[in-house]
Homo-oligomer: A and B are copies of this chain.
Amino acid sequence: MQNDERRALLLERATELFGEHGYDALSMAQIARAAKISKALLYHYFPSKHKLFEAALMAGAIELRERVQPDPTLPPAEQVSTTLEAFLLWVEERPKAYAKMLESAGAREVRETMGQVRVDTAQLILAGLGPDGERPATRAAVFGWLAFLDAAILDWIEHGDMTRQELHAMLLATFAGALIASGAGGAPMVAGQR
C-alpha cells in the first residue's frame, strides 16, 4: 500500500476513535488493532501518540476555521454573532466528539498543545478589541469567557434541554457582559474566529 494513502487512512481512523473514546482512554495498540496493522507500523507513520492526536486535531481545526471565518463586510457585532453561530452549528454536528476533545484537553501529554490553541484563539479575539485587548483584566476576561463557552456547550450537550438559539443569545450577552466587567469599553466588538 502507498505511503500517503495509508497515512491518510490511519489519520481518518484515529480521528474517529479519538472522538469516540478521548485521548487517554485510547491506546496506540487499540488504534493499530482497529486499523489491522502492527503497533510498530503505526509508529512508522506517526512518531508518537501525542503527534498523532495533534494531526487529528489539526485536520478538524482547519475545517472549523473555514466554516467560522467571519465576513469582514459586516459590522463588528454582527461578525461576532455569526461566527459564534457557525461555531455552535459545527459543534451541533458532532456533539460527542467535541465533548471528548474537550475532555482530552486535560490529558497530561496534550495539555500544552490544547492550551496553545486556546491562547491563539484568545489572541485573535483580543486583537479585534483594539487597545482594550492589552489590558490585563480584559485578557483574563477573554480567557475566562472561552472557558465559559466550553463549559456551557458541555452542559448544553449533556442536558439537551436548550435550543441553539437560546444558548447563542446567552453566550453573546455574557461575552459583552464580561468585556464590560473587565472595564473595557465593550464598544467595537470585532470578530474572533476559532
Q: Which residues of A contact B (CB under 8 A)?
A: 22, 24-25, 103, 105-108, 111, 136-137, 139-141, 143-152, 154-156, 159, 161-162, 166-167, 169-174, 176-178, 180-183
For A140, give its contact among B147, B170, B176, B183 (CB under 8 Å).
B170
Copies of this chain, count = 2
Given known contacts A140-B152, A140-B167, what 18 new A-B pairs fall within 8 Å (CB)?
A: A22-B108, A106-B107, A107-B108, A139-B155, A141-B152, A144-B147, A144-B151, A146-B151, A147-B147, A147-B148, A148-B148, A148-B151, A169-B181, A170-B181, A172-B181, A173-B181, A174-B177, A177-B180
For A136, give its contact among B103, B146, B162, B183 (CB under 8 Å).
B162
In the complex, the answer to whether B148 meets A145 with C-beta atoms within 8 Å is: yes
Cβ-closest chain B residue relative to A177: B177
In the complex, the answer to whether A161 meets B174 with C-beta atoms within 8 Å is: no
Q: Which 3 A-B residue pairs are closest in the complex by CB-CB distance? A: A106-B106, A177-B177, A173-B181
In the complex, the answer to whether A155 meets B144 with C-beta atoms within 8 Å is: yes
Given A177-B181, A180-B177, A181-B174, is A137 in contact with B166 using a C-beta cutoff of 8 Å? yes
In the complex, the answer to whether A170 meets B137 with C-beta atoms within 8 Å is: yes
State A24–B107 Cα separation when bound (angstroms). Answer: 9
Residues in B with CB closer than 8 Å to A173 are 177, 180-181
State A22–B111 Cα separation when bound (angstroms). Answer: 13
In the complex, the answer to whether A140 meets B111 with C-beta atoms within 8 Å is: no
Cβ-closest chain B residue relative to A24: B108
The smallest beta-carbon distance between A56 and chain B, in angstroms, is: 18
For A155, give its contact among B140, B159, B162, B178 (CB under 8 Å).
B140
